[in-house]
Amino acid sequence: MLTSLAIRNVVLIEALDLEFGAGLSVLTGETGAGKSILLDSLGLALGARADSGLVRNGEAQASVVAAFEPPAASTRVAQLLADNGIDMEPGEPLLIRRLVKADGGSRAFVNDQPCSAALLRDIGGSLVEIHGQHDDRGLLNPRGHRALLDSYGRCDAGAVATAHAGWRAAANALAAARETVDNAARDRDYLTHAVEELRKFAPEPGEEATLAEERATMQKGARLTDDLSAVSDCLTGSDGGLAQLRQAARRLDRIAGEEPLLNAVLEALDRAVVEAGEAEDRLAEAAEALSFDPARLDSIETRLFDLRGLARKHQVQPDDLAALRDEMAAKLAAIEGGEEHIAALEKDVAGKADAYRAAAQALSAERQLAAGRLDAAVAGELAPLKLDAARFRTVVAQLDEGQWSAQGMDRVEFEISTNPGAPFAPLAKIASGGELSRFILALKVALAERGGADTLIFDEIDRGVGGAVADAIGERLSRLAQSNQILVVTHSPQVAARGASHMLIAKSSDGTVTRTGVHALSEAERREEIARMLSGAEITAEARAQAERLLEA
């Protein structure tokens, strides 16, 4: 519910602070007093287009702050705030602020947190509905009629949405499978050859590194073989160094007893023989480790060359050839088993389509019943509003299959016929503004208890009517105000008399500056204003007496 509105420097409004309560609030004033400025200001706070022409002459910017009661956690407004990271302190009001600069541009804030104009429109549309003779939104827009009927009839589209999601997922899976099979079929011959080639070659992950390492070891052995052989010749054999050392040691052993110093020489020779023997053993081990088979080396080099060649051919790394083989084999398997797989998917799609149709048809039946109840409810409101010759109907028609959605298979539109024998036409096609206003009121009364915004604003909805019709309009507005906050801009004394509160919009001038102001009327002032509305510029005693009767009634 709207609790207050603060306006600064909007056209003729210099500074205005308004408080609003529950029930029906009426706003009256002479033509040109500035009632449209007041509604434009509120519209600005609700996300309407920011026009720099709204800024009061000579001022740098205009501002509007609208305060609302804290939204309940289950409402769409609360969800929008949460989804966009806008904090709400428990028990604190929801504040919407809009600034418009004289040189162009605007800024929007919700609870002092910046937000986009689009989000502001979304939030504002859930908080307040504005209805007037030229309103092309809300009840006049066929795009919203299905949601309004569902809300009125409490038609739950949840099962339809679930069935639609399942159907679409199955259809997407079928399309993907068909595309995969079609693409693979075009490459059948290539895939067959490539898979056979890779299976025959049998590459393994890590094989390239293993082969390269083994080849490097063998190539090193080939380079060192001659040197190792020469070293071995120096050590071994009858003329080798080790044989010479042993021969020298034997001779020295025979004569060592002749001279004590020769014993030391013999010990050194013995150590040399032992060390040379160990060197001979290590040399043999090294030769064994570096030995290679030329045939094996040739085989490794051939395998490595072919492995890298296949990798270049398929534009992958050698280690990825095995995975590529498996991937290509899977594509071939998809071709071979594709028809069976696609047939299963087609069956799944058909089943889910049938489930969607069943759920959507059940929802359509609910909507048809709700449409009948709504038509009867609206019809009951028409005669008192001097629309007894008019007829209202809710059209529930099936859409083409390509337009079916998570909301079902129906197109819903409200239509009216204003004269006997005249064809039905959309609400927005009604030529008479007065008739259209009363149709909107009748429909809104019928829909009143089925959700929607808490605050409803009717802008001169009683234009062009009077007497009993104006009284009927006032009675219905008063009835709506039992479940909603209603603000009505009116020229009708019958409507004004129904208000729980009454505000007078007036324009004043000091000769140089013109201002629009709003004054909350006392009971006495209210009686005078209704009398003025009845009699015009000169308020008569009869007008005051009639105003008193209206207020008492």
pLDDT digits (tens, 9 = 90+) for 508-552: 877 778 888 888 999 999 998 889 888 876 888 888 888 888 888
Mean of per-residue pLDDT scores for the chain: 84
What percentage of the chain has pLDDT greater than the value 90? 28
pLDDT tens track for 272-293: 777 777 877 787 777 666 666 7
Q: Give percent of the chain with pLDDT exceeding 70.
A: 90
| Check whether domain 1-133+421-472+481-515 has CATH 3.40.50.300, yes or no | yes
Beta-strand pair 455-459/485-489:
parallel
From 87-101, 149-163, 189-203, 264-278, the region with the lowest mean pLDDT: 264-278
What's the CA gap between 490 and 462, in Å, rounded? Answer: 7
User: Given this model, what pLDDT does residue 484 score?
Assistant: 86
pLDDT at position 100, please?
A: 92
Spatial contact of 496 and 551, defined as CB atoms under 8 Å apart: no
pLDDT at res. 136: 45
For residue 354, is pLDDT > 90? yes
Which amino acid does the sequence have at 34?
A: G
Q: What is the 3-state secondary structure (H, E, C) of 436-464?
A: HHHHHHHHHHHHCCCCCCCEEEEECCCCC
Greatest mean pLDDT among 188-197, 315-324, 539-548: 315-324
Q: What is the pLDDT of residue 131?
A: 75
Instruction: Determine how β-strand 106-110 pairs with β-strand 94-101.
Output: antiparallel
Higher pLDDT, 155 or 339: 155
> pLDDT tens across 32-74, in order?
767 778 888 888 898 888 888 889 888 899 999 999 998 887 7
Distance, CA of 18 to CA of 503 (rounded, Å): 9
Give the distance, in angstroms, between the CA of residue 64 and the centroid of all CA atoms in the same chain. 30
Q: Which long-range contacts (CB under 8 A, 24 or more apart) does 323-329 make?
A: 323/205, 324/198, 325/195, 325/198, 325/199, 325/203, 328/191, 328/194, 328/195, 328/198, 329/195
Residues with Cβ < 8 Å from 184, sequence gap 6 or more? 191, 331, 332, 334, 335, 338
User: Stretch 139-157: mean pLDDT, rounded?
Assistant: 86
* 486 or 267, greater pLDDT: 486
Q: What secondary structure does DSSP assign to 192-232, as a single string?
A: HHHHHHHHHH---TTHHHHHHHHHHHHHHHHHHHHHHHHHH
Q: How many residues are present in the chain?
A: 553
**Sequence ranges of the domains in the chain:** 1-133+421-472+481-515, 189-332
pLDDT beyond 80 at 195: yes
Q: Could you tell me if 191 and 331 are in contact, meaning their C-beta atoms sit under 8 angstroms apart? A: yes
In this prediction the pTM is 0.61
Model pLDDT for residues 199-235, shown as the tens digit of each residue: 999 999 998 888 888 888 777 766 666 666 666 667 6
- Reply yes or no on whether the pLDDT at 362 is more than 80: yes
User: Residue 490 is encoded by which pair of tokens?
Assistant: 């009116």
pLDDT at 340 exceeding the cut of 80: no
Q: How confident is the model at residue 360 (pLDDT cuts 50, 70, 90)?
A: very high
Which distant-in-sequence residues (6+ apart) come within 8 Å of 64 by Cβ?
A: 5, 6, 7, 8, 10, 41, 42, 44, 45, 97, 98
Over 60: is that where the pLDDT of 251 sits? yes
CA atoms of 66 and 75, how far apart (whole Å): 19
Give the Cα separation of 90 and 71 in Å (integer).
Answer: 10
Report the pLDDT averaged over residues 72-84: 85
How large is the angle between the packed helices 188-201 and 294-314, nearest 10 degrees? Answer: 160
Cα–Cα distance measured from residue 119 to residue 334, given in angstroms and rounded to the nearest whole number: 48
Is-contact 359 160, C-beta < 8 A?
Answer: yes
Is residue 262's pLDDT more than 60? yes
55 phi/psi in degrees, rounded to 5: -75, 130
